[in-house]
């Protein structure tokens, strides 16, 4: 028995050492994770398409915001040889450039004739129109141009119009669903008010579009030199003398009328003066 223990003891010690080493080796190995780590999120095809559409829409908005609307106006004073001919030339120029005449008038008489013509031309031909108008004149004593930016007002009105039209659509839907007469009348009143606002906004938008698309030029035409005085004329002198005689007669008649009207005042005074002077002379003699 003791001999068997002596033989088994070394074997048991070796087995124990092997088992101990095996346990130590297992403790040094890190456990593997139960689930793999999540992969980074990748946008889906639908999300990528949506983002691309947003970017395109943003680009269009930015492009529309950069579109400017400028109301351009020009003022010219031209010295010309003939007022009537120049007014016709200005009107023809407006039609030639694709525009039209807004107003035209001629004032004055001998030696002081003035013509005024207001025209509208496409804004892209505004500078060309000014250049051609200068060529109609002998001299240009005055010239001025100005531009008024209405882009912000125009954009605000367009946004306001979209909101009003959306409100109109909502009221129309409510009108379809309304059953009671009272509700129908209320919706119709509100709908009428909204439509009135829509018409006003549309009118203002059309005005801004028209005035920014067609520039206004106001032209004042002056004669280069006053008309020359005509030579001596016997008939003219006779007419002038006759007018002078008539004027003298009118003045004399007015004076006699005044004297007659005030006679109750001055006649007694004259009589008294004459009486006292006559009496004084009688005493002296």
For 59-101, write each residue's pLDDT tens digit. Answer: 444 444 557 899 999 999 999 999 999 999 999 999 999 999 9
What pTM, to 2 d.p., does this model score? 0.54
Residue 232 has pLDDT above 80, yes or no: no
Residue 171 has pLDDT above 50, yes or no: yes
- Residues 82, 137 within the same domain: yes
Residue range 115-122: mean pLDDT, rounded: 96
Q: How many domains in the chain?
A: 2
Residue range 21-40: mean pLDDT, rounded: 39
Task: Mark which of 133, 148, 163 sits at the end of a domain.
Answer: 148
Q: What is the pLDDT of residue 236?
A: 82
Q: Which domain holds residue 191?
A: 151-211
Q: What is the pLDDT of residues 241-278, one digit of tens each?
A: 889 999 998 999 999 899 889 889 888 888 888 888 88
- Decide if 237 is inside a domain: no
- Decide if 132 is inside a domain: yes
Q: Mapping DSSP to helix (H, G, I), strand (E, B) and coil, where does residue 210 land?
A: helix
Task: Mark which of 181, 211, 241 sits at the end of a domain.
Answer: 211
- Decide if 234 is inside a domain: no
Q: Mapping DSSP to helix (H, G, I), strand (E, B) and coil, where does residue 82 land?
A: coil
**Closest Cα partner for 76 from 136, 133, 147, 135?**
133
Tell me the CATH number at 100: 3.30.70
Burial class (CB in 10 A: 0-12, 13-18, 19+), 120: buried
Q: How far apart are CA 180 and CA 183, in angstroms?
A: 5
Residue range 211-221: mean pLDDT, rounded: 96
Question: What torsion, rounded to 10 degrees, do the Cα atoms 88, 94, 95, 100 define?
Answer: -100
Q: What is the DSSP letter of 227?
A: P
Report the 10 Å Cβ neighbour count for 177. Answer: 8
- Decide if 116 is inside a domain: yes
* Number of alpha carbons in the 13 Å side-chain half-sphere of residue 68: 7
Q: What is the pLDDT of residue 67?
A: 78
- Residues 73, 139 within the same domain: yes
Q: What is the pLDDT of residue 230?
A: 57
- Decide if 87 is inside a domain: yes
Task: Mark which of 178, 211, 244 sits at the end of a domain.
Answer: 211
């Amino acid at each position: 028995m003791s001999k068997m223990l002596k033989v088994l003891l070394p074997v048991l010690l070796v087995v124990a050492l092997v088992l101990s080493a095996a346990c130590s080796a297992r403790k040094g190995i890190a456990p593997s994770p139960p689930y793999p780590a999540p992969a980074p999120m990748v946008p889906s095809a639908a999300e990528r398409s949506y983002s691309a559409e947003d970017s395109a829409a943003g680009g269009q908005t930015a492009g529309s915001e950069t579109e400017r609307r400028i109301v351009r106006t020009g003022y010219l004073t031209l010295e010309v040889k003939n007022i009537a001919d120049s007014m016709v030339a200005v009107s023809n120029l407006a039609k030639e450039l694709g525009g039209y005449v807004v107003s035209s008038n001629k004032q004055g008489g001998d030696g002081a004739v003035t013509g005024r013509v207001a025209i509208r031309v496409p804004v892209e031909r505004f500078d060309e129109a000014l250049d051609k108008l200068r060529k109609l004149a002998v001299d240009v004593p005055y010239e001025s141009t100005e531009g008024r930016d209405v882009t912000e007002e125009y954009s605000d009105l367009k946004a306001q119009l979209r909101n009003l039209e959306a409100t109109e659509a909502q009221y129309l839907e409510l009108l379809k669903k309304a059953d009671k007469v009272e509700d129908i009348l209320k919706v119709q009143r509100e709908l009428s008010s909204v439509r009135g606002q829509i018409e006003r906004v549309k009118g203002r938008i059309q005005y801004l579009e028209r005035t920014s698309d067609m520039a206004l030029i106001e032209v004042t035409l002056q004669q280069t030199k006053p008309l020359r005085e005509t030579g001596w004329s016997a008939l003219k002198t006779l007419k002038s003398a006759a007018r002078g005689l008539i004027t003298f007669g009118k003045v004399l008649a007015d004076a006699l009328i005044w004297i007659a009207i005030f006679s109750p005042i001055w006649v007694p005074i004259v009589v008294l003066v004459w009486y006292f002077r006559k009496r004084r002379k009688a005493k002296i003699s």
